[in-house]
A and B are shown apart, each in its own frame.
Chain A
Amino acid sequence: MLENFSFRTIAEYLPLFGQGLVTTVWLSALSFIGALVVGIVLCAANLQRAWMFRAPAKAYIDAVRATPLLAQLYFLYFGLPRLGFVLPELVVGILALSLNSGAYVAEIIRAGILSIPRGQVEASVASGMTYAQRMRLVILPQAFKVTIPPLLGQAIVLVKDSALLSLISVAELTRAGQLLASDRFMPAEGFITIAAFYLLLYYGLKGLAVLSSRWLGTAGARI
């Protein structure tokens, strides 16, 4: 295999890999934005005192975190058409990734908010702030700092998870590798090339996480 490793074939397929990489990047970015929205809503519900908000959010988070993304993806991919929603694969994929990652994002944000010492809350209550003021001026700015590095960690997970969309025939990076592997019967060339691209994204996001924790003064935080 390795003695006739064909760089020429890789070069020939490079435009396809390029498109795959671009698709992986933007669909991950969209899913991440979706996950942030889902996560913020879930977290807000989860931090309410009222049982009727807290319980469903908690149930959703626990259910998503204890089941595989692949099962969730199939659930939506095969299930939605039965309900009459015939959506393009790409949309189903982004939906599944957003709904899945949202549960993890919710827990990251919650951990950030709960990491603020109790005394801060008491101090802001004592100085006569309302709940909204307390959140906006005291809690969230500090929580924001500690959540950025783990959120970037979740972005790394999301990029890797997006490989699963190749299974519902979304033309992203892993799909490009599969095409080369099956068209030319060159699995090494196909999969080593996409490994290199994924590592590029991984090191990029990891570098960003390290930089952000340095800027925000939370160096040493777990990413």
Chain B
Amino acid sequence: MIEFTFWDIVRNLLLAARWTVLLSLAAFVGGALVGLVVLFFRIAKNKWSKRVASGYIALFQGTPLLMQLFMMFFGLPMLGLRIEPWTAAVLGLTFFASAYLAEIWRSGVDALPRGQWDAGASLGLHYLQELRLIILPQAFAITRAPTVGFLVQLIKSTALTSIIGFEELVRTSNAINNATFEPFKVYGLVALIFFVMCFPLTQYARRLERAAAR
């Protein structure tokens, strides 16, 4: 049996935390890109486009992320796709993030006064130009606090990918806990590492919120 000193535990956890950070970033970037597409369909004037986008958002907001990850990891191979834990993790979290981000940004688009669209039209801008130059920059600006808030939620959600075998912080901690039988030390440290990643972001989101309320 291997003996773990306190520093062995910390070092292994910190090494695993790199994957948590990387996965969070990949899912946030991927989710933002897919989320923009969903947003585009969600705010279109076409009734069906709106319905499909709303259905997509409800599907990912209304079911547990754990189930979505299972669906990716066990379901996609049945379609003949080769899926590994990291692809299932990135894909699953990307779709999950896209639904939430699209909904957050949609609330920003809805909050803008109608006159912004009219002003754009009166300047002779077409729909895409209006979106790109007038609507989206403002929608992003007023939804910055909930966007940062969601990033925190996303970082915490990466913990679930341990279940489908992605070697991040929680999966590594399970292995260490099984070897050391020191759950308080191991999971306490895991919680501490997550706290160090998430707490500054929650404080930042709170500050943005307060600034917006003023």
What is A's interface to B at a CB cutoff of 8 Å? 1, 62-63, 65-72, 74-75, 78-79, 82, 156, 160-164, 166-167, 174, 177-178, 181, 187-188, 191-192, 194-195, 198-199, 202-203, 206, 222
B194 near A71 (CB under 8 angstroms)? yes
Interfacial chain B residues near A164, Cβ < 8 Å = 64, 66, 160
Chain A minimum-CB-distance residue to B169: A71
Interfacial chain A residues near B160, Cβ < 8 Å = 68, 70, 164
- B25 interfacial contact with A, CB 8 Å: no
B67 near A75 (CB under 8 angstroms)? no
Interfacial chain B residues near A163, Cβ < 8 Å = 64, 66-67
Interfacial chain A residues near B174, Cβ < 8 Å = 74
Would you list which residues of chain B between 166 and 214 have a CB under 8 Å from chain A?
Answer: 170, 173-174, 177, 183-184, 187-188, 190-191, 194-195, 198-199, 202
Interfacial chain B residues near A178, Cβ < 8 Å = 70
- B112 interfacial contact with A, CB 8 Å: no
Kindly state the separation between the CA atoms of A156 and B79 in the bound complex, as whole angstroms.
31
Interfacial chain B residues near A62, Cβ < 8 Å = 199, 202
Interfacial chain B residues near A181, Cβ < 8 Å = 70, 74
Contact A68/B156 with A74-B174, A79-B184 known, Cβ cut-off 8 Å: yes
Closest chain A CB from B72 CB (angstroms): 10
Closest chain A CB from B95 CB (angstroms): 13
A70 near B159 (CB under 8 angstroms)? yes
Contact A199/B184 with A67-B195, A78-B177, A187-B70 known, Cβ cut-off 8 Å: no
What is the predominant secondary structure among interface residues of chain A facing chain B? helix
A202 near B61 (CB under 8 angstroms)? yes
Kindly state the separation between the CA atoms of A206 and B103 in the bound complex, as whole angstroms.
15
Contact A1/B70 with A65-B202, A203-B62 known, Cβ cut-off 8 Å: no
Interfacial chain A residues near B194, Cβ < 8 Å = 66-68, 71
Question: Which of A160, A181, A192, A222 has most chain B Cβ within 10 Å?
Answer: A160
B71 near A195 (CB under 8 angstroms)? yes
A66 near B170 (CB under 8 angstroms)? no
Interfacial chain A residues near B156, Cβ < 8 Å = 66-69
Kindly state the separation between the CA atoms of A82 and B187 in the bound complex, as whole angstroms.
13
Contact A195/B63 with A1-B75, A71-B159, A181-B70 known, Cβ cut-off 8 Å: yes
Kindly state the separation between the CA atoms of A121 and B74 in the bound complex, as whole angstroms.
56
The 4 A-B pairs of least Cβ separation, nearest first, read A202-B62, A163-B64, A78-B183, A187-B74
Kindly state the separation between the CA atoms of A191 and B77 in the bound complex, as whole angstroms.
14
A-B contacts, 16 of them at CB < 8 A, read: A1-B75, A62-B202, A63-B191, A70-B159, A70-B170, A74-B173, A78-B177, A156-B62, A163-B64, A166-B66, A177-B67, A191-B74, A191-B75, A192-B71, A195-B67, A203-B62
Closest chain A CB from B27 CB (angstroms): 14
Kindly state the separation between the CA atoms of A223 and B195 in the bound complex, as whole angstroms.
26
Chain B minimum-CB-distance residue to A186: B78
Chain A minimum-CB-distance residue to B195: A66
Please pick, from A68, A79, A166, the residue contacting B170 in the complex, using a CB distance under 8 A: A68
A198 near B64 (CB under 8 angstroms)? yes
